[in-house]
A and B are shown apart, each in its own frame.
Chain A
Amino acid sequence: MISIDIEKKLRAYPGQQVLKVAAQFAAGSITKIYGPSGAGKTTFLKVIAGFVSTERGTIAANNITWLDTSSKINLSPQKRKVGFVFQDYALFPNMTVRQHLEYATDDEAWIERLLAIGGLETHAAHKPEYLSGGQQQRLAILRALAIKPKLLLMDEPFSALDPEMKSGLLAQLNALFAEMGITVLIVSHNPQELEGWGANELLIK
């Protein structure tokens, strides 16, 4: 179970707006986060991961407090260890596909399985600049999964995938999430994208 109650000021034009979210996410659940541009969806994910600080709030995951501004508890991203799929992929230009996964885990069998899920076996020795947009996006998802996180945060993770690849990958990921019991939060603009996943919804506005 992940409990979140945060309040963060966002820069906006004109003036300022406040991102205010109070929600609970059951272990193993999948939640789709949607809302207008600039509402703070990405910031919300980054606050959970510990990349961005917030003025007030609490975050607890499986009875461990990650953030409590009143008692000045704020675990580092390294200790929270959430899987994070960035909107800009944030791939490391100096590393090949395999090196990305090896940087995250020593489990060779797991790496092979991830490469198969992402359909990137034949591209394992390629650096990101030699991958298509869709392949880069798949690599970003695989890297986030490599650490076998308990919580996976995905920011527009399927936007660059072609429809055929997307349906295959989504089916595999859905099964994998269930197998691993991961709690997943997905920011998505596409209402049809997660059909059939039984995903909960959270509106941020």
Chain B
Amino acid sequence: MDLNPIWLTLKLAVITTALLLVIGLPLAWWLSKGRSVFKVIAEAIITMPLVLPPSVLGFYLLLAFSPQHGVGKWLAQNFNIQFVFSFQGLVLASIIYSMPFMIGPIKSALQQLPASLSQASYSIGKTKWQTFIKVLLPNIKPSLLTAAVLTFAHTLGEFGVVLMIGGNIPNVTRVASIAVYDSVEQMDYHAANTYSLILFSITFILLVSVFVFNKYRLKSPLE
């Protein structure tokens, strides 16, 4: 049996989670502080993938990054980067698709910290950055872990958006969820079951680990 779809899926999930941690932390911090029309719009855009059919998101990404027009053409001509039917396309789509799973828990945790924690740090002369690294971040560790694991697990299960922008190219874009679909199409139920069982087991173990690590604080997954 071809295990490449599993490795590709894990690689995609690791890269997406790592990049989203880097992008998501400052974004969640910014969103957690005060409110403005601009922030409301940004938050709505970030949350959209939760309610939008993945195929819709994939369709627009496909159009946006098509090498024949607009941004896609410009990227291909100037930087030789192609997002459509490529692994980097999957990473881009996964970042957008899983962003609410990273931002939600971190933003919520930052908002729940009392304002006086930051103020106490500022009053002893610490900058916003020092306060974020030394005070805020260490005190939202459980939510940080929840966010990272949910992002990872969610990326493992992507299907529609990945199929739209990446297609089904073996060793390049054929991730496990697509391999399941493909196997069923070919009536290979054994392979479909093996892929499914591996995905199911990884996801289950990850979520159980998070709940155990967070000392049985059974929060809603999006908290």
Q: Interface residues, chain A, CB within 8 Å of chain B?
A: 46, 49-51, 76-78, 80-84, 86, 88, 90-94, 103-104, 143-144, 146-147
Closest A residue to B115 by CB, please name it: A51
Q: How far is the CA of A90 from the CA of B122 in the complex (A)?
A: 12
The 30 sampled A-B contact pairs (Cβ below 8 Å) are A46-B119, A49-B119, A49-B123, A50-B122, A51-B115, A51-B122, A77-B119, A77-B122, A78-B122, A78-B127, A82-B123, A84-B119, A84-B123, A86-B120, A88-B114, A88-B116, A90-B117, A90-B120, A91-B120, A92-B120, A93-B139, A94-B138, A103-B124, A103-B126, A104-B124, A104-B125, A143-B120, A143-B124, A144-B124, A147-B125
Total chain B interface residues with beta-carbon distance under 8 A:
17
| Nearest CB on B from A100, distance (A) | 9
A83, B123: Cα distance in complex, Å? 6
Which of A80, A82, A92, A144 is within 8 Å of B117, CB to CB?
Answer: A92
Chain B contact residues, majority secondary structure: helix
Pick the residue among A51, A81, A83, A146 that contacts B119 (CB under 8 A).
A51
Inter-chain CA distance A95–B121, complex, in Å, is 12
Q: A147 near B124 (CB under 8 angstroms)?
A: yes
Q: Which residues in window 79-128 of B have CB below 8 A to A?
A: 114-117, 119-127
Interface centre among A49, A104, A144 (most CB of B within 10 A): A104
Q: In whole Å, how far is B118's beta carbon from the nearest beta carbon of chain A?
A: 9
Enumerate chain B residues within 8 angstroms of A81, measured Cβ to Cβ.
123-125
Partner among B114, B116, B125, B139 whose Cβ is within 8 Å of the Cβ of A94: B139
In the assembled complex, which residues on chain B have CB atoms less than 8 Å from the CB atom of A143?
Answer: 120, 124
- Residue on B nearest A153 in the bound complex, by CB: B123
Q: Is B134 an interface position by the 8 A CB rule? A: yes
Minimal beta-carbon separation of B34 from chain A (angstroms): 12
- Which of B115, B116, B126, B138 has the most C-beta atoms of chain A within 10 angstroms of its own C-beta? B116
Q: How far is the CB of A6 from chain B (nearest CB, A)?
A: 18
In chain A, what residue has the closest Cβ to B122? A77
Q: A84-B119, A90-B114, A94-B138 are in contact. List 6 more A-B contacts (CB 8 A).
A: A77-B119, A77-B122, A77-B123, A78-B125, A93-B139, A94-B135
The 8 A-B residue pairs with the shortest CB-CB distance in the complex, in nearest-first order: A90-B116, A94-B138, A77-B122, A90-B120, A104-B124, A84-B123, A86-B116, A51-B119
Smallest CB gap from A51: residue in B = B119
Q: Which residue in A88, A91, A94, A144 is a CB contact (below 8 Å) of B123?
A: A144
- For B115, the chain A residues whose CB sits under 8 A away are 51
Residues in B neighbouring A86, C-beta threshold 8 A: 116, 119-120
- Judge whether B119 and A90 touch: CB under 8 Å: yes
Chain B CB within 10 A, most for which of A88, A103, A143: A103
Q: Which residues of B contact A104 (CB under 8 A)?
A: 124-125
Compute how far the CA of A86 lies from the CA of B123 in the bound complex, rounded to whole angstroms.
11
Cα distance, A200 to B146, chains bound together (Å): 51
Q: A78 to B125: give the CA distance in the assembly, Å.
A: 4
> What residues of chain B lie closer than 8 Å to A90, measured between beta carbons?
114, 116-117, 119-120
Taking CB atoms, residues of chain B closer than 8 Å to A92 are 117, 120-121, 135, 139
- Which residues in A have their C-beta under 8 angstroms from that of B121? 92, 103
- State in angstroms the CA–CA spacing of A144 and B122 once bound together: 11
CA distance A50 to B135 in the complex (A): 19
A146 near B120: Cβ-Cβ < 8 Å: no
